Structure 1
Amino acid sequence: MNNSQQRGLDRPRARGTGRSVARRAELISVGRKLFADTSYDALSMDDIAKQAQVAKGLIYYYFQSKRGYYLAIVEDSVAELVSRAAGGLQLPPADRVHRTIEGYLRYAEHHQAAYRTIISGGVGFDAEVHAIRDGVREAIIATIAEGAYGRRKVDPLPRTALLGWLCSVEGATLDWIDRQELSRDAMRELLVRMLGGTLRAIEELDPSYVAPAPARRDE
């Protein structure tokens, strides 16, 4: 069991169903916006409760502490991002890669505060938050590797190359959602072509990793 799973067991579960689950989700939604715009240290539990328009005790009830609340927000955002990017397993390799990038960008575009929270953190250097972000990266790299090579685990050279591409994707996506100068389609095609260059470089250095043929786009 990893640390994130253990934290989930240590936190109190929302009692009942329906309204209690919806209230917890509402608090996480509010927290995504708060922590995206304001640093962790600058927000008190009183500030959070005021913005959420709830009693402070309700936040303690669901999350135990401010840190527990923050980590729940990050983990919830992470789960949704990875889920968005990991679909399309039935597609051919090149189409699967294309769909992964499309899902990633859709999430960033429609959940900008949550995306900034995942990528930028918001608490300075925090080992646990950085570990969560690193887990996202590993999941996305595994998804891309599975789409390109038919397996999630790859050797150090392709993994490092894919990590370099993904770090550039993070920076470019943050800039994209801030500026809104490119359409999502244009951004997707740019990132797909950048990935294509990375996959070809991997193949040149290690011919056992054959880059998939580009997907044909008739539209």
Structure 2
Amino acid sequence: MRQHKPAVTMDAPDPLDTRENQLLAIARRLFAQHGYDRTSLRDIAEAANITKAALYYYFPNKDALYERIVLESIQLLHDQVAAAVAQATGPTARVRAFMEASARVQDTGRDRWIAGSNAFWQAATDGQRMAALKLRDSYEGLLRQCIADGIKAGEMRAVDPAMAGRFLLSALNQMPRWHKPDGKLSAVEVMQQFLDMLLHGLVIEEPTTPAARRRKTETA
């Protein structure tokens, strides 16, 4: 059953309206708009209407601020997806729950999603990468397990779960490049259509027109 399109916001509000959370939201927006390299602490301080010195009270440097944003982003994604999968029944339903929950995180926290993208892997220290990689591996491993369970249950073809997982996540990760938050479809609705195509394929096993049936016979 399809969901109604949710109200899309550029970033869902934090649970606590503290000054630190306000600064994190501003930093996420600027990192998402301009990238890590082209966003300075001065830019963030000016957008927050505070001095750069006051910003140091909360974060010692830009790397620490960015690390906080990325790790919180991955943790949020991991936790929300794991909760959605736990509530689904059956392997195929769990794959759908995984991908739709991921798209929902993207839908309701676009700045957070974009700010926590690939730039982190070049900017982060070894310790930061290890913490993020642990969460990312757990997140991706959950999808692979759902696919493997689907194969074992006879609901899915015997494909490589790791390759299938990369295929699904590639579709998800490319969405911010072209999807418009205020467009006709939400990210969740786009993902639902993707899943219909990806899980069921594009080719009809039994062609529905005489010409298609003739071509299938000729190429058999």
For normalisation by structure 2, the TM-score amounts to 0.64
Q: What is the aligned counterpart of 2:29 among 30, 33, 39?
A: 33
- Structure 1 match to 2:88: 91
- Cα gap change, 1:168/1:183 in structure 2, threshold over 3 Å: closer, same or farther? closer
Gaps of 5+ in 1: 1-17, 199-219
Structure 1 residues 56 and 120, CA gap change in structure 2 (3 angstroms): same
Aligned partner of residue 86 in structure 1, secondary structure: helix
**Amino acid paired to 2:97:** R
Structure-2 residue corresponding to 1:164 = 167
Q: 1:65: which partner in 2?
A: 61
Corresponding residue number in structure 2 for 1:126: 123
In the superposition, the TM-score normalised over structure 1's length comes to 0.64
Relative distance call for 1:184 and 1:166 in structure 2 (3 A) is closer
Preserved CA contact (<8 Å) 1:87 1:100: no
Q: Is the 8 A contact 1:24 1:62 kept in 2?
A: yes
SS in 2 for 1:62: coil
Which residue among 113, 117, 129 is the counterpart of 2:115?
117
Letter in 1 for 2:34: T
Q: Where do 5+ consecutive residues of structure 2 fail to align?
A: 1-14, 151-158, 202-220
1:121-165 CA distances to partner (integer Å, 9 max, x unpaired)? 3x79435587777556433322223434459xxxx9421331233
Q: In the superposition, relative to structure 1, how do residues 173 and 135 fare at CA in structure 2: closer, same or farther (>3 Å)?
A: farther
Residue number in structure 2 paired with 1:106: 104
Per the TM alignment, residue 175 of structure 1 is displaced from its structure 2 partner at its CA by 1.9
Calculate the aligned-residue CA RMSD, in Å.
3.4
| Partner in structure 1 of residue 47 of structure 2 | 51
User: Which residue of 163, 180, 185 maps to 2:183?
Assistant: 180
Aligned length: 175
Identity %: 22
